[in-house]
């Protein structure tokens, strides 16, 4: 029987994928008003499986990054979906074609006791990180963002260096890889916004320089290339 965490990840994954597919296909309220709604349906059907794959990698690996780093520091950590956030994401995507990517979060509980002999090599080599809650929180918060940035560059590399070498399915591969880097960079940038419960606030409080090095290049990309 699937755990609650697995079910929450699956529900959030599907809802967020539908939201991205709605936004990128133009299947929204503006489409109804402009009369292009029905023309957008075939594009939505094409975009949905692509979005499921791309959002799945971006979202799932982002959350697992938070969770696994938290568990590395011996915290109890599990992902929980945010129902209101999922409804807002679907509503924004359908009404105005915008993305609100806050499907849930990794909730971190107390630490489990662990003997020194059971510590990882990281803990032994860098005890200042293992024993400092601010450093732990900063590393946990930045982990998901860094994974999205890495995935974004992987998809970008595939788009520019692999697609030109392939003769078949170039359109589909270009679509997948373009959405791959776009969604990962959007999720990274959105989560780095330094307000509310987003990762950016915790990362900035932990290390403003690391926050700035990560956030401003993505902001520049968003403003000039997105």
Tell me the catalytic residues. Answer: 63
Helices H, strands E: what count in the chain? 11, 2
| d(C-alpha 139, C-alpha 192), whole Å | 13
> Quick check: helix, strand or coil at residue 61?
helix
How far are the Cα atoms of 27, 37, 177 from residue 163, in angstroms, in the given order? 28, 31, 9
CB crowding 115-125: b at 16 or more within 10 Å, else e: eeeeeeeebee
Token pair 């990274």: residue: 188
Reference 78, options 86, 66, 89; nearest CA is 66
> DSSP strand E in the chain: where?
75-81, 104-111
Name residue, tokens 């520019």: 160
Question: By the 8 A CB rule, do 85 and 103 touch?
Answer: yes
Q: Are 61 and 151 in contact (CB under 8 A)?
A: yes
Cα-to-chain-centroid distance, residue 52? 13
């Amino acid at each position: 029987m699937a755990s609650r965490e697995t079910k929450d990840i699956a529900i959030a994954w599907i809802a967020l994928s539908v939201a991205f597919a709605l936004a990128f296909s133009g299947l929204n309220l503006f489409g109804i008003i402009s009369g292009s709604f029905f023309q957008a349906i075939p594009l939505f059907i094409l975009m949905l499986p692509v979005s499921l794959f791309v959002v799945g990698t971006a979202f799932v690996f982002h959350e697992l990054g938070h969770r696994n780093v938290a568990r590395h520091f011996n915290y109890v950590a599990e992902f929980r979906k945010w129902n209101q956030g999922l409804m807002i994401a679907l509503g924004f995507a359908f009404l105005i074609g915008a993305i609100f990517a806050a499907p849930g979060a990794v909730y971190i509980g107390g630490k489990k006791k662990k003997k020194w002999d059971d510590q990882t090599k990281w803990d032994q080599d860098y005890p200042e990180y293992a024993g400092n809650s601010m450093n732990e929180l900063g590393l946990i918060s930045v982990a998901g963002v860094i994974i999205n940035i890495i995935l974004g560059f992987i998809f970008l590399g595939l788009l520019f260096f692999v697609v030109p070498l392939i003769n078949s399915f170039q359109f589909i591969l270009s679509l997948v890889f373009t959405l791959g880097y776009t969604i990962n960079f959007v999720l990274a940038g959105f989560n780095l916004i330094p307000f509310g419960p987003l990762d950016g606030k915790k990362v900035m409080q932990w290390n403003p320089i690391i926050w700035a090095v990560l956030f401003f290049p993505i902001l520049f990309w968003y403003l000039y290339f997105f």
